[in-house]
Amino acid sequence: MTIKLIGVNHKTAPIALREKLAIGHGELEEATRALAATPGVTECMIVSTCNRVEVLAVVDEPETPLGDFLSRYFGLDAALVAPHLYEHRDKEAVHHLFRMAASLDSMVIGEAQILGQVKEAFAAARAAGTVAGQLEPLLQCAFAAAKKARSETGIGASSVSTASVAVDLARKIFGSLEGRTVFLVGAGKMGELTARHLVQQGVSDVIVTNRTLEKAALIAKTIGGRAVPLEQLYETAGEADIVIASTSAPHPIFGKIHGQKFLRRRRNRPMFFIDLAVPRNVDPALNTLDGIFVYDIDDLQQVAAAHMEERSREAIDAEALIAAEVERFCQRQRSVSAAPAIVALQQKAEEIRRAELDHFHGRLGALSAEQQATVEALTRGLVNKFLHSPIHALKQAACTGNSARIESLCDEWSIVPAEDEAAAETAKSPTENAEARP
């Protein structure tokens, strides 16, 4: 069995191609079943996000073709997709999966969404019946490794998007955002996103204004707020703790004189202006007023960049942690490969022990229950001591990936691992099989 992973992501393919390969959440089960129908695929899963589409599969042979699945499924020319594909096998595939789940392969290192998206892909594969004994433990270990990376390093500690940075700054200014009022001025996408982030953090009231009242009402409805006409701009702004300015006005709409009036009305309670517009909507002079804090788009991006640098430093520790988790998983998988031989060895030893006890049963005579328990304990103890070295040798061979050594030891001890018993039965001559029948 071989683990293979193929895909495209934001590093290898332009968005125009990723759009053509994107699989919606509702279509994921169907696509996974189609992948499972590919000859040679025994287990599989598909991860599809705005930044990547990846196929993870357990295949019968290393050369089982997976590279053309995406082009076939979407009816695209394979020559269009192939140059953008990457492929990993076995340990490299495991390493890529662990890094992806831990967001180390994301456009923004430390972002939390990817782990949830991989879990959704896993759930879809489970629902499609395409995961079993190979992918199940692999994905569980990937989730555990990703959680460990986030809890033991700081890759997710600092916000890196402009919107999330603005929310963090607001929290530092006001402490809790519970009960705060936000005034969104303009209908820009970034302004709306920032308002959504603030709502998620507990602000109680969102007011929206725009040159077109209908558009303001539409945005307000989607974020649970209320709309006011643009004519009430300055009256409403004085009520707000946080003002998000995102209009296309060619000059500042909030000047120092406005700030002074706001502070008097608010009895010097602080205000936070988030200026997302270019040209700026808020005169930088407001920053000179005690109690008013102004951050423009450059300020926010500089803070985000500093946080990104901090995450990059933390990512070094996270990479080391993930590498260690990958090695642990692979070593555990290699040790599992010795399990059938160990079981067969233990079974053979037990058969010999029982046969010898039966052989000497007559000589021992009638034994009490206590004497029988003593004989059992004595013989089992001897067998376990004799098996210690052979089992250790099998485990060592497995840990180093030396399958030839395992086979050699099995031949030396005349044991047939459990998973090979059916093949051994099939390999018998027709005469032997006939003799074996009752």
State the catalytic residues. Answer: 50
224 to each of 188, 218, 276, 363, how far by Cα in Å? Answer: 17, 10, 21, 89
Q: Are 58 and 134 in contact (CB under 8 A)?
A: yes
Query: Does residue 279 have a cis peptide bond before it, meaning omega lies within 30 degrees of 0?
Result: yes
Question: 205 forms bridges with which residues in the sheet?
Answer: 181
- What whole-number distance in Å separates Cα of residue 308 and Cα of residue 293? 23
Q: Are 162 and 190 in contact (CB under 8 A)?
A: yes
- What whole-number distance in Å separates Cα of residue 269 and Cα of residue 180? 12
Q: What angle do CA 27, 29, 34 make, to 5 degrees?
A: 95
Q: Show Cβ contacts of residue 413 under 8 Å, excluding neighbours closer than 6 positions.
A: 345, 348, 390
Max Cα distance, the chain (Å): 111
- Nearest to residue 25, comparing CAs of 144, 116, 100, 108? 116
